Homo-oligomer: A and B are copies of this chain.
Amino acid sequence: MDIQLDATSEVPLYQQLRDRVVEGIAAGRLRTGETLSPVRRLAAAFGVNPATIGKGYDLLRGEGLVTINAKSGTFVRRDRDVPLTDSNFVDAWFPRLVTLLAEGRAQGLGPERIREICDAALESFERE
């Protein structure tokens, strides 16, 4: 999966793991049905506690992005190209987006600049 965790970051390791998997799904690197590395193997690879990996996977399950099966492992569940049917996600997501964009705007980034940056991020998901 080519994931790097930064032990010196303020962001908790399980959150970093979750973020990287989300980005992998967004970029199409992780496709529906694909298996995520087993908790213990990943924990060993990163040199962290298996519970940390488990917590990251659990976050993803809570978001409906993966399925966890104790016997067979953890699988990608969502396909980024299957349109949402549930509007609850957008309802919760939009305010967070507004706050994050507002932060950039308040710090002096112009609307066009922010739009460019968003485009750059979105294109990075489609390039692969």
Distance in angstroms between the alpha carbons of A101 and B121 in the assembled complex: 8
Chain A interface size range: 35 or more
Q: Is A83 engaged at the interface, CB distance under 8 Å to the other chain? A: yes
Distance in angstroms between the alpha carbons of A110 and B61 in the assembled complex: 21
Q: Which residue of B lies closest to A15 (CB)?
A: B99
Contacts of A117 in B (CB 8 A): 90, 94, 97
Write the residues of chain A forming the contact surface with B, with a CB cutoff of 8 angstroms. Answer: 8, 10, 12, 19, 22-23, 25-27, 61-65, 67, 69, 77-84, 88-90, 93-94, 96-111, 114-115, 117-119, 121-126
Distance in angstroms between the alpha carbons of A117 and B89 in the assembled complex: 13
Known: A111-B126, A115-B118, A122-B101. A106 touches B65 (CB 8 A): yes
Main secondary structure of the interface of A (DSSP, over half): helix
A25 CB contact (under 8 Å) in B61, B83, B106: B106
| A71 vs chain B, min Cβ distance (A) | 10
A80 CB contact (under 8 Å) in B93, B106, B125: B106
Whether B106 and A26, one on each chain, are in contact in the complex, defined by CB atoms closer than 8 angstroms, is yes
Whether B62 and A102, one on each chain, are in contact in the complex, defined by CB atoms closer than 8 angstroms, is no
| A85 vs chain B, min Cβ distance (A) | 8
